[in-house]
């Protein structure tokens, strides 16, 4: 749960804390803080004596303002207990006794003084006149102190007046006072509800602090914390993030490891999470956990709870629900025990538990917890605790298609926000978002449209709310779709078309701004439900306007979540050379990423607390280096940085002209809840088709996959799936390129039927993640030729029966190199792979259905302590130049399907590392059949056949040579599929060179014969 109410309390506390650049005053102030802390009450006598000591030292100085400040602190400290202090001793440099009394009056200001406003006004006026007669810094000092005193008494209007007067009086030489006054005024305006002025003063305060010749990290940290926490509490996470980063960094520099640092890293982890930067969120969360448990070893319920809250939501995103519960449930129990149910913290952690159960799919349990969190919030007197609980319950109902239940809660939250005069914040506009959705669900389209316009107008006045603008576009398109369905008025379609281009551009820009693949995938998952709305509008508009622009729109929406993270990786490696990026920077970037992942593995195995803490600090330092390096690349190579991030796909006409061959057909699928969209392209035609019944299709595909793996009956499912998925295709085609979606990635299309026969009989079939990705793979300058390297490891357990024979036979055929047995190690592969154009790996594979980044290939593990697993993350970090990778063992083409990017298979990792095509298996094909098909495949490759044609012919040869009908089951031959650039492995230039040489020999021969004949005559 967003802990807005709790953060507000922290911000207000932070506003009262001050740090000085002058060392003497800093020590005095630190002592005063020590005095003021209840937990350190036994040290108060020491604090008193230190204040006096510092005061005496300061009195010997020639300046007025320093002893005056220390006097103010001393007065404040002693006055709390009505200590009788010696005026001559405390203020030797203040010549004016009335001014000294004015300072004392400011410090002794009490709540009861405000019961008689007239007397108070007289007193303040008198003291102000006294101060105005003084010169120099003492005049400004008084107004600053009375501002603080009034602020502490919540007299914000008076505090504003005196604070602005103090600001006018500050001299340019005295830099400390503007910093503190801007900070104080920021707090005053925030309390008065003027967020714009509050942020303005905080920003000036921050800039002044950064502009100091000698920066005070304590001051910078504290101000950055105010800025970040205020933005965070208003759900402005992008705005908050840079301040929270600086706050944590400078606080650690100034103060080292203290409990305050735990809260800073916990909040930073939350902010990373809400901006979809999950890897960074985990590092910050683990840092907070390490501080709490291993370094500081605090038993503070609040701080421990913050850590549990932050990490639990990160673990939930990774599918580690049990680990998340193990953190969060004890934290909640401890909080309930310490604070009871009627507390903001208890409500927040209960809301976190509700979110966790919702993520795990336990919707009934989640609803119970959400309602419990709201009951707890209602037991407090905090408005934002209530609105936070309401927002999460409303969001739960909206996200689980129960928006009808949300109505009363939407209205309740709005009433609270209006009562608090909060009608211009992100929180208020989030409430309006859900109200619009509820109105649309009820068919109240006119009211929804009016409210949508009001929301758009309000958001236009805010900065840093790009996600909210995208939400508004999504709502607008959804509303027009419903209005068109209800009325069939074309004006709704026309208006929608005008907004779709802006919408897709914003979606792509937002996704491309994310740093890590996991973040891109998660964001893609979040927007995947919005794509069918756009496709449906385009489909309807195409009926009357079958234009290239409309087909391009359809293509771009279908491609946004297909291999986009993989595409970014390929583009970056290619474009670096184009834009002349310093290779050392890229090597450094890869080194940092590899080091971060290596530390991740060490962390998983670390048991000793000190070791864990050291590893987390190393990871944090590497992350900061990575951020600095990315900033350097962005500044020094802006064209590369811009070009290497995700961008809109090209037009449909571009791919038809530049990518597709004559006779080639592309089938690009998108599966929605109960609808299948198919974009079909060929060299001279394009169409968008829409079919219902996707739910039934999905269940049939899942059943077919099981049937194929288990050699069961399958023909009825093939007939039904073929009828559903395949359009009318030509009787023969030069190539069929399939871009799958969702469960369609699990089956080989070669077994589907068109024109009464299987596709394997009609032409070659290849697969692609997207047209964008395929275009980049074709452009990759990978090694051509048949220089071949094969690996067949030996395993301590569960060895592959025929992998040695397979690799040795193909090595002999290809005149390549076979590495088998104990020699087939991970280290050996990483050292040798760069010299070969074809990589053939007959290894075991390991798939992790929860976290696909843990997928791995297994190399020889017979040596004790051998590091045998080559993980997806490690493959990502390799620089592979091969034009083809063949992963012949296990189900290397399978993996977890992510709505936000596609199948997370092992083959994908090789594509990311620079291999332009991969041949993989969807299930483990038997050894004998594997050897037969692979041998034939390489025979055809050597003849110069394109890769997909070579695979088609190899499969056809198998079917022709097999007389046993049982062995013609697709289980034995259809599991191998090829993707990416399928051009011949033999360089075209070599072919033409050979033909030219042959032609030259023939011509020379005829010339020789002709000359000889003439000579004979």
Q: What is the mean pLDDT of residues 188-195?
A: 76
Cα 926 from Cα 837, distance rounded (Å): 26
Distance CA 159, CA 224 (A): 23
| Residue 317 predicted with pLDDT over 80 | yes
Distances (CA, A) of 160 to 16, 104, 523: 16, 20, 43
Query: Can you tell me the distance from the alpha carbon of 873 to that of 860, in angstroms, rounded to the nearest whole number?
Result: 19
Closest CA to 371 of 346, 388, 395, 354: 354
Upper half-sphere CA count for residue 905 (Cβ side, 13 Å): 23
Q: Which of 237, 910, 1004, 291 is nearest to 614 (CA)?
A: 291
Query: Can you give the pLDDT at residue 1010?
Result: 62
Which pTM does this prediction carry? 0.72
Least confident of 30-34, 193-197, 478-482: 30-34
Q: Which residues contact 509 (CB under 8 A, 6 or more apart)?
A: none
Residue 756, phi then psi, degrees to nearest 5 = 80, 5
Asked if pLDDT for residue 44 goes beyond 60, the answer is no
Model confidence at 597, pLDDT cuts 50, 70, 90, reads: confident
pLDDT per residue as tens digits for the range 259-295: 889 989 999 999 998 887 888 899 999 999 999 988 8
Listed in order, strand segments (DSSP E) in 867-1004 are 869-871, 884-887, 895-898, 902-905, 917-921, 976-980
In the prediction, which pLDDT does 184 show? 84
Q: Read off the pLDDT of each residue in 135-158 and give the average, rounded to a whole number.
A: 76
63-87 pLDDT, tens digit per residue, is 444 455 555 555 554 444 434 344 4
8 Å CB contact between 810 and 816: yes
Question: Contact at 8 Å (CB) between 166 and 140?
Answer: yes
CA distance 520 to 278: 10
What span, in angstroms and rounded, lies between the C-alpha atoms of 1017 and 1014? 5
Per-residue pLDDT at 879: 75
Confidence of residue 174 (pLDDT cuts 50, 70, 90): low
> Which residues neighbour 980 within 8 Å (Cβ) at sequence distance 6 or greater?
766, 768, 774, 777, 911, 915, 916, 917, 918
Query: Residue 547 has what pLDDT?
Result: 94
Average pLDDT over residues 301-316: 92
Burial of 754 from C-beta contacts in 10 A (0-12 / 13-18 / 19+): buried
Instruction: Give the pLDDT of residue 584.
Output: 78
Angstrom distances, CA of residue 594 to CA of 573, 601, 845, 875, 912: 16, 11, 21, 10, 15
pLDDT of residue 40: 36
pLDDT band, very low/low/confident/very high, at 573 (cuts 50, 70, 90): low
Question: What is the crossing angle of helices 609-636 and 278-290, to 10°?
Answer: 140
- Choose between 759 and 37: higher pLDDT: 759
Kindly tell me if the per-residue pLDDT of 181 is higher than 90.
Answer: no
**pLDDT, mean of residues 482-500:** 93
Question: Is 30's pLDDT higher than 80?
Answer: no
Question: Which has more pLDDT, 148 or 830?
Answer: 830
- pLDDT reported for residue 413: 94
Digit-coded pLDDT (tens) for 799-808? 666 788 889 9
Q: What are phi and psi of 753, to 5 degrees?
A: -115, 140
DSSP state of 205: H
How does strand 856-858 pair with strand 838-841?
Answer: unpaired
DSSP H helix total and E strand total for the chain = 44, 18
* Residue 48: band (very low, low, confident or very high) from pLDDT cuts 50, 70, 90: low
Contacts 24+ apart (CB under 8 A), 588-592: 588/629, 589/626, 589/629, 589/630, 589/633, 590/877, 590/879, 592/622, 592/625, 592/626, 592/629
Cα–Cα dist 910/915, whole Å:
6
Phi and psi of 1000, rounded to 5°?
Answer: -65, -40
pLDDT digits (tens, 9 = 90+) for 502-556: 988 888 777 666 655 554 554 555 567 788 999 999 999 999 999 999 999 999 9
DSSP 8-state assignment for residue 82: T
Three-state SS annotation for 433-495: HHHHHHHHHCCCHHHHHHHHHHHHHHHCCCCCCHHHHHHHHHHHHHHHHHHHHHHCCHHHHHH
Lowest mean pLDDT among 36-50, 405-419, 534-548, 969-983: 36-50
Which residues lie below 8 Å from residue 749, measured CB to CB, with a gap of 6+? 736, 738, 759, 765
> Nearest-CA neighbor of 768 among 683, 889, 669, 896?
669
841 in Cβ contact with 793 (< 8 Å): no
Dihedral angle computed from the Cα positions of residues 416, 421, 423 and 428, in that order, rounded to the nearest 10 degrees: -30
Place 956 in a pLDDT band, splitting at 50, 70 and 90.
very high
pLDDT in tens, 657-667: 999 999 999 99
* Report for 135-139, 599-603, 727-731, 1012-1016: range of highest mean pLDDT: 727-731
Cα separation, 505 vs 914, in Å, equals 27
How far CA 1010 is from CA of 441, 998, 1013, 1017, in Å, comes to 90, 18, 5, 11
pLDDT digit string, tens, across residues 775-834? 888 887 666 778 899 998 888 776 666 788 889 989 998 999 999 988 989 889 988 888
Best mean pLDDT range from 102-106, 257-261, 766-770 = 766-770
pLDDT band at 848 (very low <50, low <70, confident <90, very high): low
Predicted pLDDT at 986 = 78
Q: Which of 218-227, 487-496, 898-907 has the lowest mean pLDDT?
A: 898-907
Question: Is pLDDT larger for residue 186 or for residue 145?
Answer: 186
Percent of the chain exceeding pLDDT 70 equals 76
Chain Cα centroid distance, residue 505: 18
Q: Mean pLDDT, the chain, as a whole number? A: 79
pLDDT at 58: 53
CA 175 to CA 267: how far, in whole Å?
30
pLDDT digits (tens, 9 = 90+) for 365-384: 999 999 999 999 999 988 88
Quote the pLDDT of residue 899: 47
pLDDT tens figures, 445-469:
999 999 999 999 998 887 777 788 8
8 Å CB contact between 7 and 232: yes
Q: How far is CA 837 from the centre of its chain?
A: 35
Nearest to 169 by CA among 148, 126, 205, 139: 139
pLDDT tens digit sequence for 696-709: 888 999 999 999 98
What's the pLDDT at 60?
52
Is residue 685 predicted with pLDDT exceeding 90?
A: yes
The residue among 144, 143, 140 whose CA lies nearest residue 169 is 140
């Amino acid at each position: 749960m967003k802990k807005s109410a709790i953060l507000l309390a922290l911000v207000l506390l932070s506003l009262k804390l001050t740090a000085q650049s002058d060392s003497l005053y800093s020590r005095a102030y630190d002592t005063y803080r020590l005095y003021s802390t209840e937990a350190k009450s036994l040290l108060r006598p020491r604090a008193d004596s230190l204040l006096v000591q510092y005061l005496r030292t300061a009195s010997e100085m020639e300046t007025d303002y320093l002893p005056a400040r220390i006097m103010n602190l001393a007065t404040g400290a002693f006055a709390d207990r009505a200590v009788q202090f010696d005026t001559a001793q405390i203020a030797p440099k203040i010549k004016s006794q009335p001014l000294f009394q004015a300072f004392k009056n400011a410090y002794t200001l009490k709540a009861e003084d405000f019961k008689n406003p007239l007397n108070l006004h007289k007193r303040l006026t008198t003291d102000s006149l006294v101060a105005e007669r003084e010169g120099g810094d003492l005049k400004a000092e008084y107004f600053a102190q009375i501002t603080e005193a009034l602020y502490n008494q919540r007299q914000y209007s008076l505090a504003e007046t005196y604070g602005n007067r103090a600001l006018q009086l500050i001299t340019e030489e005295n830099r400390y006072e503007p910093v503190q006054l801007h900070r104080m005024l920021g707090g005053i305006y925030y309390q008065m509800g003027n967020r714009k002025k509050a942020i303005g003063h905080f920003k000036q305060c921050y800039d002044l602090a950064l502009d100091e010749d000698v920066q005070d990290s304590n001051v910078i940290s504290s101000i950055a914390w105010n800025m970040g926490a205020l933005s965070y509490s208003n759900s402005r996470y992008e705005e908050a993030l840079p301040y929270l980063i600086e706050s944590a960094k400078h606080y650690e520099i100034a103060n080292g490891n203290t409990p305050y640092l735990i809260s800073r890293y916990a909040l930073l982890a939350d902010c990373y999470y809400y901006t979809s930067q999950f890897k960074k969120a985990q590092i910050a969360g683990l840092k907070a956990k390490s501080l709490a448990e291993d370094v500081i070893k605090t038993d503070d319920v609040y701080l421990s709870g913050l850590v549990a809250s932050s990490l639990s939501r990160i673990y939930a995103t990774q599918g580690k629900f049990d680990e998340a519960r193990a953190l969060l449930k004890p934290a909640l129990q401890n909080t309930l025990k310490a604070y009871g149910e009627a507390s903001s913290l208890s409500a927040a952690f209960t809301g976190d538990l509700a979110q966790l159960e919702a993520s795990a799919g336990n919707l009934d349990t989640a609803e119970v917890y959400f309602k419990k969190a709201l009951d707890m919030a209602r037991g407090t007197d905090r408005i934002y605790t209530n609105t936070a609980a309401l927002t999460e319950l409303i969001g739960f109902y909206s996200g689980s298609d129960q928006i009808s239940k949300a109505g009363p809660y939407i209205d309740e939250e709005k009433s609270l926000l209006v009562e608090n005069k909060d009608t211009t914040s992100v929180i208020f506009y989030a409430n309006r978002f859900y109200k619009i959705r509820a109105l649309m669900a009820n068919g109240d389209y006119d009211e929804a449209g009016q409210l949508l316009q009001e929301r758009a107008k309000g958001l236009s006045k805010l900065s840093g709310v790009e996600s909210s603008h995208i939400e508004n576009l999504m709502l607008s398109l959804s509303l027009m779709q419903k209005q068109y369905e209800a009325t069939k008025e074309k004006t709704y379609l026309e208006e929608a078309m005008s907004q779709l281009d802006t919408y897709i551009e914003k979606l792509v820009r937002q996704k491309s701004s994310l740093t890590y693949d996991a973040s891109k995938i998660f964001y893609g998952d979040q927007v995947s439900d919005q794509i069918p709305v756009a496709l449906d509008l385009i489909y309807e508009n195409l009926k009357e306007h079958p234009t290239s622009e409309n087909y391009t729109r359809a293509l771009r929406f279908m491609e946004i979540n297909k291999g986009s993270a993989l595409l970014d990786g390929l583009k970056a490696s290619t474009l670096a050379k184009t834009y002349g990026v310093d290779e050392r920077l890229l090597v450094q970037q890869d080194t940092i990423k590899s080091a971060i992942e290596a530390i991740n593995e060490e962390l998983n195995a670390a048991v000793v607390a000190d070791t864990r803490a050291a590893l987390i600090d190393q990871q944090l330092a590497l992350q900061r280096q990575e951020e600095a390096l990315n900033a350097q690349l962005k500044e020094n190579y802006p064209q590369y940085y811009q070009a290497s991030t995700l961008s809109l796909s090209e037009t449909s006409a571009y791919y038809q002209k530049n990518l597709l061959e004559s006779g080639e057909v592309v089938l690009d699928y998108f599966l929605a809840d109960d609808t299948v969209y198919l974009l079909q392209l060929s060299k001279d035609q394009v169409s968008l088709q829409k079919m219902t019944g996707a739910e039934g299709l999905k269940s049939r595909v899942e059943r077919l996959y099981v049937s194929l793996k288990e050699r069961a009956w399958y023909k009825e499912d093939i007939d039904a799936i073929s009828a559903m998925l395949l359009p009318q295709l030509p009787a023969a085609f030069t190539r069929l390129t399939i871009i799958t979606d969702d469960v369609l990635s699990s089956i080989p299309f070669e077994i589907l039927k068109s024109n009464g026969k299987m596709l394997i009989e009609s032409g070659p079939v290849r697969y692609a993640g997207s047209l964008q990705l395929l275009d980049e793979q074709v452009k990759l300058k990978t090694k051509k030729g048949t220089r071949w390297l094969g690996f067949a490891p030996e395993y301590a357990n569960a060895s592959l029966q025929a992998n040695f024979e397979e690799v040795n036979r193909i090595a002999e055929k290809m005149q390549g190199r076979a590495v088998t047995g104990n020699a087939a190690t991970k280290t050996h592969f990483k050292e040798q792979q760069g010299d070969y154009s074809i990589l053939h790996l007959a290894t075991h594979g390991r798939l992790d259905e929860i976290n696909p980044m843990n997928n791995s290939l297994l190399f020889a593990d017979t040596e004790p302590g051998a590091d045998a697993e080559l993980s997806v993350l490690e493959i990502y970090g390799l620089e592979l130049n091969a034009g083809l990778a063949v992963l012949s063992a296990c189900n290397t083409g399978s993996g977890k399907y992510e709505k936000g990017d596609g199948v997370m298979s092992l083959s994908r990792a090789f594509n990311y590392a620079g291999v332009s095509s991969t041949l993989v298996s969807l299930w483990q094909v038997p050894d004998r059949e594997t050897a037969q098909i692979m041998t034939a495949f390489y025979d055809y490759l050597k003849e110069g056949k394109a890769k997909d044609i070579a695979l088609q012919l190899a499969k056809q040869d198998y079917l022709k040579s097999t007389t046993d009908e049982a062995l013609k089951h697709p289980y034995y031959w259809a599991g191998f599929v090829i993707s990416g650039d399928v051009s011949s492995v033999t360089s075209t230039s070599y072919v033409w060179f050979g033909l030219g040489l042959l032609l030259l020999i023939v011509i020379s021969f005829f010339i020789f014969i002709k000359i000889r004949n003439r000579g004979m005559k």
